[in-house]
């Protein structure tokens, strides 16, 4: 197996076994790469349907089951999370609007329904938070932009309406950068959100408020949006689990950055939680056509439980040829590959043909095609140039028709190359980012190469999940990105579940 310094060239591969991985890295190096990880048996937090001693650390499945069986009331659960938000939010600034009294009233109603033998749905009485870029009826939804600082939507976004119909109770909104257009979570209304593992660092963006409050135990789940990595990067930065579905799986109706346009396929909504099993529960609830978002496809969503891991063909790479990651991140990805090898999967060290060009192509597409839309969004929101954080929009030169056509053509050629590579694989394992959670202010508008590991799969539109696979020398989470074929979220989630079990999964911060 080649080392990171001689990363596998495009189209070239090495087939390896678990023994090869161990011999190449040495057991000591693998151990260093997964500092802080434990086996499933040793993990301190539940991965199944059992409640934890502190209710706020319990999985969504555990909470839903306990409420249905009346082991615990919805009021007790909602109050536990509201109390936890009160304890941690002053430090991390993740929740920007609360519905405390309304949430408790809804919980009382849920308990009353149960006493009559009525169950609304699989999330009956379970609380949630929702990213502030997603409309919530009757609750201020700012999109992180000054012009909407007091705006109250008249109706719920499709995903919110579906979760409520399934029985979920909204507790509050979580912070987002302006119109979700940043890998850090900060805006001119609410300020910056802090990482609960290190308050001097970002929880990522744009779903950083969601990831921070989930990791801190203030919410069991949230819905994020992902335009260049905005679900997967925050999941990596805070050690939680999240999935960006296939383009066309989940309606974006009611999201601040709307569906449509030349870059429509980049933006997806998806669930974020502490445990992979909860992603498998939540994704079917929010998926499928709503007859408003014109790009949603009525595709089936297979059950991850039916995936045979031993039949999978898996490629992995620790260097995408754009930005070299830290040694610890490379080691965690390689350790993940060894877990799948041990499960009987065929493992090749290989990276997709054309991946080295994907960053340049994505940046060109954003710079050519985004500014007119973004300026229109600011105008519609009533945000002036002086009030916005998106100053780069007004510095970018207008693109010519020829430049736009060339940008779209290059995107399609790269997508074609990448898709041809996936003919031979079911799954790709790779880093989520070149670094663990960065210090506040580290994102450079002119150099987003560390974020290219997620951006590539917004370009392709393929599903990608993240689960914690290790810990950095600074004590920060390290995620592993699992990418699948279009419409095969079941495969992605099955692999994520195995890695969560074997590499330790979520580990609560001390906050």
What amino acid positions are annotated as catalytic residues? 131, 206, 230
Residue 66 near residue 72, CB atoms below 8 Å: yes
- Residue 35, classified by CB atoms within 10 Å of its CB into exposed (0-12), middle (13-18) or buried (19+), is middle
Residue 196, by phi and psi: left (phi above 0), alpha (psi -120 to 50) or beta? alpha
Across the beta sheet with 169-174, the strand order is 95-98, 169-174, 127-131
Q: What is the dihedral of CA 252, 186, 448, 32, to 10 degrees?
A: -100
Sign of the alpha-carbon dihedral angle for 399, 405, 410, 412: positive
Across the beta sheet with 477-484, the strand order is 13-16, 346-350, 313-316, 427-431, 477-484, 464-471, 241-244, 268-273, 221-226
The neighbour count for residue 303, using CB atoms within 10 Å, is 11
Phi, psi for 351 (deg, rounded to 5): -125, 155
Least Cα distance to 237 among 471, 499, 33 occurs for 471
Taking each helix axis from N to C end, the angle separating 74-92 and 100-115, rounded to the nearest 10 degrees, works out to 160
Residue 28: both structure tokens together: 């000591």
Residue 144: both structure tokens together: 């992180």
98 DSSP β-pair partners: 172
Residue 236 near residue 432, CB atoms below 8 Å: yes
Of the CA atoms within 13 Å of residue 74, those in its CB half-sphere come to 28
Least Cα distance to 286 among 121, 172, 150, 406 occurs for 121
Q: What's the rounded Cα separation, in Å, for the pair 310 and 112?
A: 46
């Amino acid at each position: 197996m080649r080392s990171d310094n001689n990363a596998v060239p495009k189209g070239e591969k090495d087939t390896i076994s678990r023994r090869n991985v161990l011999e190449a890295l040495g057991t000591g190096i693998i151990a260093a790469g997964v500092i802080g990880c434990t086996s499933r048996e040793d993990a301190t937090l539940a991965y199944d349907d059992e409640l934890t001693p502190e209710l706020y650390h319990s999985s969504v499945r555990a909470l839903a089951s306990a409420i249905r069986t009346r082991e615990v009331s919805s009021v007790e659960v909602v109050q536990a999370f509201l109390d936890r938000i009160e304890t941690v939010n002053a430090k991390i600034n993740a929740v920007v609007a609360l519905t405390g009294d309304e949430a408790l009233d809804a919980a009382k109603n849920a308990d009353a329904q149960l006493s009559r033998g009525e169950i609304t749905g699989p999330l009956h009485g379970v609380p949630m938070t929702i990213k502030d870029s997603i409309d919530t009826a009757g609750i201020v939804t700012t999109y992180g932009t000054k012009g909407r600082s007091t705006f109250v939507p008249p109706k719920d976004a499709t995903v919110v309406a579906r979760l409520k119909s399934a029985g979920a109770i909204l507790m509050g909104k979580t912070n987002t950068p302006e119109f979700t257009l940043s890998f850090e979570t900060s805006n001119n209304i609410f300020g910056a959100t802090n990482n609960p593992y290190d308050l001097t660092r970002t929880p990522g963006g744009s779903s950083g408020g969601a990831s921070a409050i989930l990791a801190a135990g203030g919410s069991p789940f949230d819905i994020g949006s992902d335009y260049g990595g905005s679900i997967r990067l925050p999941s990596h930065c805070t050690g939680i689990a999240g999935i960006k579905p296939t383009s066309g799986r989940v309606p974006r109706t009611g999201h601040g950055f709307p569906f449509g346009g030349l870059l429509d396929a980049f933006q997806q909504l998806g669930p974020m939680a502490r445990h992979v099993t909860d992603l498998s529960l939540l994704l079917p609830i929010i998926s499928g056509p709503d007859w408003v978002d014109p790009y949603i496809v009525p595709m089936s969503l297979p059950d991850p439980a039916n995936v045979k891991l031993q039949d999978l063909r898996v490629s992995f790479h620790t260097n995408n040829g754009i930005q070299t990651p830290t040694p610890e991140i490379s080691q965690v990805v390689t350790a993940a590959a060894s877990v799948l090898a041990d499960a009987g999967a065929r493992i090749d060290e290989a990276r997709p043909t054309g991946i080295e060009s994907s960053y340049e192509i994505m940046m060109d597409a954003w710079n050519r095609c985004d500014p007119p839309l973004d300026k229109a969004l600011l105008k519609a929101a009533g945000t002036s140039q002086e009030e916005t954080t998106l100053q780069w929009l007004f510095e970018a030169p207008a693109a010519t028709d020829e430049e736009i056509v060339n940008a779209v053509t290059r995107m399609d050629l790269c997508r074609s190359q990448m898709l041809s590579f996936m003919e031979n694989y079911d799954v790709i394992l790779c880093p989520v980012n070149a670094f663990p959670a960065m210090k506040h202010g580290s994102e450079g508008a002119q150099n987003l190469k560390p974020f290219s590991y997620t951006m590539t799969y917004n370009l392709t539109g393929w599903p990608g999940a993240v689960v914690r696979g290790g810990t950095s020398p600074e004590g920060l989470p390290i995620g592993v990105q699992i990418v699948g074929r279009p419409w095969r979220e079941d495969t992605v989630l099955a692999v994520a579940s195995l890695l969560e079990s074997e590499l330790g999964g979520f580990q609560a911060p001390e906050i």
